[in-house]
Structure 1
Amino acid sequence: MSTDPMAPSRHALARGIFGGVALFLVWELVARGFDLPSYILPAVSEIVARIWTARAALGNAAAYTLGESVAGYLLGGAIGVGLALCVTLVPPLRKVIVPAATAVNSVPVVAFSPLILLWFGMGMTSKIVMVAVAVSFTMFVSALAGFDRVDERSVNLMRSFGASRAAILWKLRLPTALPLVLSGMRLSTVRSLIVAIVTEMLGAYGGLGWVIYQAVVVIDFVQVWAAIFIASLASLAFFGLVSWMERRLVFWR
């Protein structure tokens, strides 16, 4: 019997790679076998060739989008966890913050794009704000659920020993909430990239969404797929990094 704790992760990675290779192989055979035009479904080899020839432009666009995504992700995470802390430490605020956050999240975040672009311009700032809006609610819900898991009997016990509110927060509430906070961070990675790319398509000076929009305008669908592939790789890398951090910080799970 294997005692390697990383074995399940390696097996999952191997299965993922095998599934991806099988999917691309079927995709290639279908596109070539049926001689599909590129505007319907280009072959994977054609997309990979375009990625190579346009690697400089696509690399710069990916770096631009990742910069927006990471900045908005960190800002939104800080806002979400901060609001959850406020609600936890000041319970009367729950009746105000939770309904307000739910009302904002009930509207698709893309609906705010025209206003955000009008207020903050076409540059990176508007994309960072959009990503922060999208991520903050996910992080707020995850962090609040984590803080609510704390057993009040444990809180009362620490208080009976003279623990301050800060000590209870640092030694009890945060460790208890950490698994759910990190799960929210992991789920927010993909959302942050999606929102950044969609907002770039509505108005931007660079990024993968801008590349996709420009390629659609000139009817270059191989370029569209190339940008989508790069976006998927960036999303997987971001997701993998946060998942790795989660495994290291929440090692007892």
Structure 2
Amino acid sequence: MTHDPMTPSRHALARGLLGGGALFLIWEIAARGFDLPAYILPAVSEILLRFWTARDVLGGAAVYTLGEAFGGYLLGGAVGVALALCVTLVPVLRRVIVPAATAVNSVPIVAFSPLILLWFGMGAGSKVVMVAVAVSFTMFVSALAGFDRVDERSVNLMRSFGASRAAILWKLRLPTALPLILSGMRLSTVRSLIVAIVTEMLGAYGGLGWVIYQAVIVIDFVQVWAAIFVASAASLAFFGFVSFLERRLVFWR
């Protein structure tokens, strides 16, 4: 009898779909049964109908936001891993980089929005920078924890056989750190979209955050919920894609 490695994932997906369906059903019954106004809680059917009628606007906004989030995600991931690598290869830098990164991360990322918007403008560039700042610390901590897991005895052994720094990095440090790096990448997906949307609400020319802000101004709360649904779907898709890559690249787990 062959074992299907995808069965647990399929069961988890089925449970998630059933749970989501039950939640939406209860939501629909409550909204209709209590005749709740849209500004409190619109019915799911109203939200789905608005999603369909405004699909072009919401779809374009989702693509715009995902582009910003993905650009900042890649930039922040590269910066975070590079900083962790510098700290690992040059230990004296740990005393400078780690406190500085912790100090930046201790401030809510939204607090930097006015400055970033002032420096980089209202376009997509400012959102990419904001996402990169948010993602870089998560990736830095994850990558540094991964590099710190390397057994120094293994490093010394490879050096005794004449291995160069590049060879040790490629054959020992990166494979050891890869599981934690990919875990950090997975956790950063949701944060990247949240930061992009919040920054768009503070100032933008497009995107889901801009759609939500405009809908609030005209008191169109069904449109707000439709944009939230699209944002949730985009976040789940992004998270699922990175989780898929993690399972494929770190197959030994």
Which residue does the alignment assign to 2:43?
Answer: 43
Q: Aligned pairs, how many?
A: 253
User: Where in structure 2 are the equivalents of 1:179-194 lying within 5 Å?
Assistant: 179-194=179-194
Letter in 2 for 1:101: A
SS at match of 1:41: coil
Aligned-pair distance for 1:6? 1.4
Partner Cα distance (1:143, 1:134) in 2: 15
Aligned-partner SS, 2:157: helix
RMSD of aligned Cα (Å): 0.8
Deviation at 1:2, TM superposition (A): 7.1
Shift of residue 3 of structure 1? 2.1
Counterpart amino acid of residue 149 in structure 2: R
1:139 matches 2:151: no
Runs of 4+ in 1 over 2 A off after TM superposition: none
- Normalising to structure 2: TM-score of the pair? 0.99
Correspondence for 1:8: 8
Indicate the residue corresponding to 2:164 in structure 1: 164
Q: What is the distance in 2 between the residues matched to 1:177 and 1:216?
A: 44
State the alpha-carbon separation in 2 of the partners of residues 93 and 2 from structure 1: 51
Matches within 5 A, 1:93-242: 93-242=93-242
Residue aligning to 1:56: 56
Aligned counterparts of 2:140 and 2:13: Cα–Cα separation in 1: 30
- Whether 1:249 aligns to 2:222 is no
Q: Taking every aligned residue pair, what percent have the same amino acid on both sides?
A: 86
Q: State the alpha-carbon separation in 1 of the partners of residues 10 and 180 from structure 2.
A: 24
Aligned counterparts of 2:222 and 2:152: Cα–Cα separation in 1: 57
**CA separation in 1, counterparts of 2:118 and 2:2?**
57
TM normalised by structure 1 equals 0.99
The AA in structure 2 aligned to 1:238 is: F
Amino acid at match of 2:125: T
Which amino acid in 1 is paired with 2:59? G
Matched residue SS, 2:175 = helix
SS in 1 for 2:251: coil
Deviations 1:15-34 (A, max 9, x none): 11110000000000000000
- AA aligned to 2:189 is T
* 2:139 aligned partner, one-letter code: M
* Unmatched tracts of structure 1, length 5 or more: none
Partner Cα distance (1:176, 1:4) in 2: 28
Matches of 2:21 and 2:81, distance apart in 1: 39
In 1, distance between residues paired with 2:222 and 2:18?
A: 24
Shift of 1:4: 1.6
Structure 1 partner of 2:25 = 25
| Offset of residue 217 of structure 1 | 0.2
